[in-house]
Chain A
Amino acid sequence: MSPPLLELDDVYKSYGEEQVLSGVSFEMDAGDVDVVIGPSGSGKSTMLRCVNRLTEINGGDIYLDGDCITDANTDVNELRKQVGMVFQDFNLFAHLTALENVTLGLRKVRGMDKAAAQEKGYEHLEQVGLLDQADSYPAELSGGQKQRVGIARALAMDPKLLLFDEPTSALDPELVGEVVEVMRDLAAEGITMLVVSHEMGFARSAASDIIFLDDGRIVEHGPPEQLFENPQAARTGEFLSRLTHEGE
């Protein structure tokens, strides 16, 4: 049996006195789409940032494809080639066109030549439906288009795992749909995704598992049906009902 694609084993993280993650453990297999939910400040972003080592953990281990990625001699740049990230506020490179945003990593990290990088860049822009905006600068794109470029930029590196940190929460409501649609397509293609999102429609239909994080601990972890229909912990039910009320 092959190892899980991603495994967090008893991960601890604190900022000074403040304990942000307190013994987080879970596994994901290749092709899984896990959605992380939880109140503000519960440590969701921190957990994602630990996986691509934008943040260093204080205890426990993280494994990608069986390799421990949290020991001291891991090459973080090598790791980040394999783990893409999509940000809440897009963070598109403001001085580059959509196409250049997608190809920067291909050229400067993967060392591809310009023509090959562009060809691959166009492919990924097409994948997110933005071929016609290839030459637009970020300031010329709508929020939804920016986020789709953000997704294309992450996809271009052919990552084993894609991390999404609230990819739709900075968007005007009418722009959420186009981004969710792209994410659904990726899920259907079998791309492994770890998604922090309170977009319940996406969680219900696309998630393999939902992870409810509260105060740095996993309170409940299971398939969507379980969490939505039959939550095991009282706090899960409360949180979800508050969420669905707000959503309406």
Chain B
Amino acid sequence: MGTPESTTTGRTIRGRAAGLTDQPLTLLTVAVFWTWLVVRWTNDFLLDGALIERNTSFFPTAPFESVASTLGSLASSLGPVGFPVGWVAGFFEFLAASIPYLPQLATGVWATILLTVLGIALGFFIAVPLSVARVYGGSATRSVALGYTELFRGTPLLAQLFVLYFATPLTAIIRELPTVGTGFIPAQAFWVAVIAFMLNSAAYQSEYIRSALNSVPEGQLTAARAIGLSKVDGIRHVVLPQGLRYAIPGWSNELVYLIKYSSLASFITVRELFERTDAIASETYRYTELFVLAGLLYLALVLSASLLMEYVEDRVAIPGLGTTSR
């Protein structure tokens, strides 16, 4: 008698911590970024350049150039105290120099997003059975799942890409498929990269989901079994819906990592953001501008992903399940 309520059942509903969604500047940046991307893609891929010719930027460079030169001469006339003005001038120079490359980079961003989203989404469907096998499987299934996870987490992603691309018949098989490499359906290297990211991400995601499943109290499955659900149904209807919610923060991490790691696909010729940047830079020798620009685009992608995951987390939040507290 009088045992205090256990902490798992007595969890209280905590207010949502302040997140990115509460920062207007972030929201504005992401909104501008996506408006530009969507208009660009629509124009280039769907409307066949109806709004503006492909590879021609929406933004003219002339105004930025004139602002830059005005500020530049102002800075030099101010002498030694003019250096802050000089910086601003440099920024406008940077903008003017970057603008012509934006359209090509937008195409690279498309491939990066597609690569990341497909990799993580397809990986998820492998990760769920893997993690369930790790937590609830017999010793044989457990070892298989563990072996898979260790293999893909223990070897470099780049090596996995190379093996799939060069050492398996995958590339040849995909090349023969209809529509591959036509229109906005990327060429075979892209699909090999998707498969590599799927397999690799599944291993990482299964780790996040496994520890999330372990944090679902044992009594939940016991109660499910006690009303007559089979073990599989109990896992499906009771344990997973809770465990997957606990896994969301880890999942957001994985998404952010994959956005950046997807740049490795450039090594097998996938024309994603990093590859595009590198290609243009080696043609124009504008390395600094282009890689700063690419960095900013990656940053905008990561911010968008964080915002999206915050939204998802809020949408599926359930009082007491502890997903809303960060």
Contacts and interface: CB of A to CB of B under 8 A. Distances in A.
Nearest to A139: B320
Given A93-B224, A94-B321, A137-B320, A77 B229 contact: yes
B225 A95 contact: no
B29 interface: no
B227 A80 contact: yes
B238 to A, nearest CB: 5
Contact of B223 (A91, A168, A170): A91
A172 B13 contact: no
A176 B314 CA distance: 35
Contacts of B238: 93, 95, 104
Contact of A138 (B4, B9, B241): B9
A80 B225 contact: yes
B229 A89 contact: no
A85 interface: yes
B233 interface: yes
A148 interface: no
Interface in A124-176: 137-140, 143, 146, 153-154, 157, 168-173, 176
Contacts of A198: 1
B243 to A, nearest CB: 10
Given A80-B225, A104-B237, A154-B227, A94 B5 contact: no
Contacts of B13: 139-140
Nearest to A247: B1
Contacts of B319: 137, 139-140
Contacts of B242: 94-95
B188 to A, nearest CB: 42
Contact of A143 (B5, B217, B233): B5
Contacts of B156: none
A94 B241 CA distance: 10
Contacts of A91: 217, 219-220, 222-223
A238 interface: no
Given A89-B6, A139-B13, A169-B3, A105 B227 contact: yes
B91 to A, nearest CB: 49
A173 B6 CA distance: 15
A36 to B, nearest CB: 16
Contacts, number: 105
Contacts of A188: none
A116 interface: no
A228 interface: no
Contacts of B183: none
A137 B227 contact: no
Interface string B65-104: 0000000000000000000000000000000000000000
A195 to B, nearest CB: 15
B12 interface: yes
Contacts of A168: 1
A171 B4 CA distance: 7
Contacts of A92: 9, 223
Interface string B167-189: 00000000000000000000000
Interface string B1-34: 1111110111111000000000000000000000
Given A84-B227, A137-B318, A146 B9 contact: yes
A89 B237 contact: no
A63 interface: no
**Which interface residue of A78, A89, A146 has the most chain B CB atoms within 10 A?**
A89
Interface centre among A54, A90, A91, A157 (most CB of B within 10 A): A91
Q: Which of B4, B9, B241, B242 gathers the greatest number of chain A CB atoms within 10 Å?
A: B9
A13 interface: no
B225 to A, nearest CB: 7
A139 B226 contact: no
B228 interface: yes
A234 to B, nearest CB: 25
15 contacts: A54-B222, A77-B230, A80-B225, A87-B222, A91-B217, A94-B320, A95-B242, A104-B237, A137-B319, A137-B320, A139-B12, A143-B9, A169-B1, A172-B4, A173-B1
Interface of A: 52, 54, 77-78, 80-81, 84-85, 87, 89-95, 104-105, 108-109, 137-140, 143, 146, 153-154, 157, 168-173, 176, 198, 246-247
The 9 closest A-B pairs by CB, nearest first: A139-B320, A105-B227, A91-B223, A91-B219, A80-B228, A109-B228, A81-B228, A85-B226, A137-B319
